[in-house]
Amino acid sequence: MDVVGRGTVLAGRYRVLQPLASDLEGSPAWQATDQILDRSVRVRILISGNVPQALDAARRAALVSDPRLVRVLDVGSHEGVSYVVSEEVRGPSLADLLARGPLTGDQARAIVGEVAAALEIARRRGVHHLALRPSVVHITPDDRVLLTGLAFDGALLGQGLGDARTTTRADTVGLVRLLYAALTGRWPVGAHDLVPTTGLGTLPAAPLATDGPIPPGDLVAGVPADLDTLCVVTLGPNDDGPHSPAELVRELEPWGEIRSIGLAGRADSGPPVPTGAAAAATAPSLAPAHVDRQSVRATFEQSPAGPRRTGTPPPAHPGIAFPPVSSGPEHPSAPPRVERPAAAGPLFPRVEPVVAPALEARPDPGFPPGPPPSVPLAQPGTPWNQPERPSGFGLPFDDRIDEPERLSERRFDPTKVVIAFVAVAVVIGVIIAFQLLTKPVTPRGDVAPAPTVTRSASASAGSAAPSAPAAQPSSAASTVPTGGTPVIASVSTIDPSDPAGEHAEIAARAVDGDPATAWYTHTYNQPNFGGMKPAVGFVLNLASPATVTSVTLHVNGTGGNVELRATDAASPTAGTVLASGPLSADTVLTLSTPTKTSSIVLWFTALAQTADGSNRIEITEITVS
């Protein structure tokens, strides 16, 4: 087969209908129909490039399951034509949205955060994208993020070589470039960028400074300070910033939900009406189902999918991760309707639907009528119903059939209440038994009580000792300042280069009494903060003036240097350095002289090194005595 065109049938199954936009030379995309499962699919034809490597990468990408990654359904060759079949993609790409103007900071954070979380799932399966650009990120009509071209695009362009650390860093930098583009509407040009030149739109290049792209805040007003710093640090000349999608997720979270109406509101005018191939890609779908979201860490803590056979997987069952959609409108003459608020401009323009000939509208075979399945159909181990949280992205499908419950099923079940009472009684019994077992035994008979013996021994020792040394503690005590027990009332951070501080939003984790949480700085390429700042400060504000003798830091890492001063955030380097030294797992800073103060500043002049070799400060707990 030399030519693929309208009407071509690949592998006796996929009938090619019409071309779709593609920004990769030598790999045209087509809308097609799976004639066996009667559904619309997207077919990529491989004409030139690293075809064998791209086919192998597509097979590996098919083994990664996540609602934000477009599913690869089939990979193969037919009469000398290599192809990759994936699920249909609905909704505009990030390139389409940025053609109307940059996004708001919260929407840019949410979109890139969702993509980063999906790539972290793929990274844990050894799969990387390596060709991130605005045209591969899509926003569906139900406000979900879909990422196309996982592993496949990068391999086709010859970008799939390198060790795990190099490829992971490349994806992370690509994500930050997406963030820069979303904030400014400009692409930060680098030495090996994959800027799209055809298809879904071309972004203008960002202006360059001597050490990298101009900060986003200098191009667009209202860019959040943390996102501006993240772009400058990561896209600068040094190898700074996050080194994995998981680290980038920690930098971005929490984020809110993606709002298609909010995205459309940034445009100066309504979206252009697509024609031809673009019309099929942006055709409106039926009313989207409600989608619950779950937290980033909850998804990362889920167990990976069960073992799957290597090689090309069989075509996926229709509708596993998405709501059922009929093959056409109920009446062929009536186009589908999309519910949208009247006050906002439409994100998905109304176009005439493309109706395949001789296809009768009928329910998707993957969803027989009846109650919903008892197990989730997205990813094994994913909770079905999760409470809505501000930094969620798991997106399990939550469409319920026959939503109203039958009245006969609404009965009080006392089992849970009884189990709760029994559990509480067992816990109380265990506590009482433990206290009885560990209670000290009271001496019987005429044996003298232990406290009396202890005092006698102390008195004997005191009488045998010389009288001169006994007077020394009284003299020393008279020089110690008076004050109550130090109690930490609040904490804050100091960043000489940023008035907002260094991760001030999580500073309270260092004094919450939970060793599982930590306050941490940005990750830098060098222990001296990459030459960007002289130091980073951490301020401890006491509830009332108290005498401080020592401060204990529980640190994840070793090395670096910290200085302790009895001062405040307004003048962090004022006063005498009362204690200093390198950091370790349990760093105890003993003051040279007990000092009465109301605030303490820990001034980190050099970064410690964590177990993974990163240069940053990670403090799980701080105590003052």
Give the residue, 279 or 238, on which the prediction is more confident: 238
Residues 129 and 34 in one domain: no
**Per-residue confidence (pLDDT) for residue 284, from 0 to 100:** 36
d(CA 579, CA 593): 9
Residues 107 and 245 in one domain: yes
Q: What is the pTM of this model?
A: 0.47
Mark which of 57, 88, 119 sits at the end of a domain.
88
| CATH number of domain containing 234 | 1.10.510.10
Residues 49 and 26 in one domain: yes
With beta carbons less than 8 A apart as the criterion, state whether 84 and 175 touch.
Answer: no
Q: Tens digit of pLDDT for each residue in 382-436?
A: 433 333 434 444 433 333 333 333 434 445 678 888 899 899 999 999 999 888 8
Residues 497 and 619 in one domain: yes
d(CA 118, CA 110): 12
Q: Tens digit of pLDDT for each residue in 47-74?
A: 988 999 999 999 999 999 999 999 999 9
Residue 482's pLDDT band (boundaries 50, 70, 90)?
low
Residues 113 and 241 in one domain: yes
Bridge partners of 145? 139
Mark which of 88, 112, 142 sits at the end of a domain.
88
Tokens found for residue 552: 């204990």
d(CA 547, CA 598): 9
E strand or H helix at 436: helix 415-438
Give residues with Cβ within 8 angstroms of 391, minimum separation 6: 113, 253, 254, 255, 256, 295, 296
Q: Tens digit of pLDDT for each residue in 319-367?
A: 334 333 333 333 333 334 334 333 333 333 443 444 433 333 334 434 3
Closest CA to 33 of 315, 329, 322: 315
Say whether the peptide bond before residue 396 is cis (omega within 30 degrees of 0).
Answer: no
Residues 111 and 196 in one domain: yes
| CATH number of domain containing 566 | 2.60.120.260
Q: How many CB atoms lie within 10 A of CB 132?
A: 27
Q: At what angle do helices 245-252 and 105-123 cross, to 10 degrees?
A: 150
Place of tokens 């009528």: 369
Give residues with Cβ within 8 angstroms of 531, minimum separation 6: none
Most confident option among 294-298, 434-438, 475-479, 588-592 = 588-592
With beta carbons less than 8 A apart as the criterion, state whether 271 and 347 touch.
Answer: yes
d(CA 445, CA 617): 59
**Per-residue confidence (pLDDT) for residue 409, from 0 to 100:** 45
> What domain count does the chain have?
3
Residues 492 and 560 in one domain: yes
d(CA 587, CA 594): 18
Q: Tens digit of pLDDT for each residue in 66-123?
A: 999 999 999 999 988 999 999 999 999 999 999 999 999 999 999 999 999 999 999 9
What proportion of the chain, given as a percentage, has pLDDT over 70? Answer: 66
Residues 205 and 157 in one domain: yes
Domain that holds residue 42: 9-88
| CATH number of domain containing 26 | 3.30.200.20
Residue 540 backbone dihedrals phi, psi, to 5 degrees: -110, 115
Residues 159 and 43 in one domain: no
Residues 256 and 117 in one domain: yes
The answer to whether residue 425 sits within a structural domain is: no
Residue length of the chain: 625
C-alpha 366: how far from its chain's center? 31
Residues 219 and 135 in one domain: yes
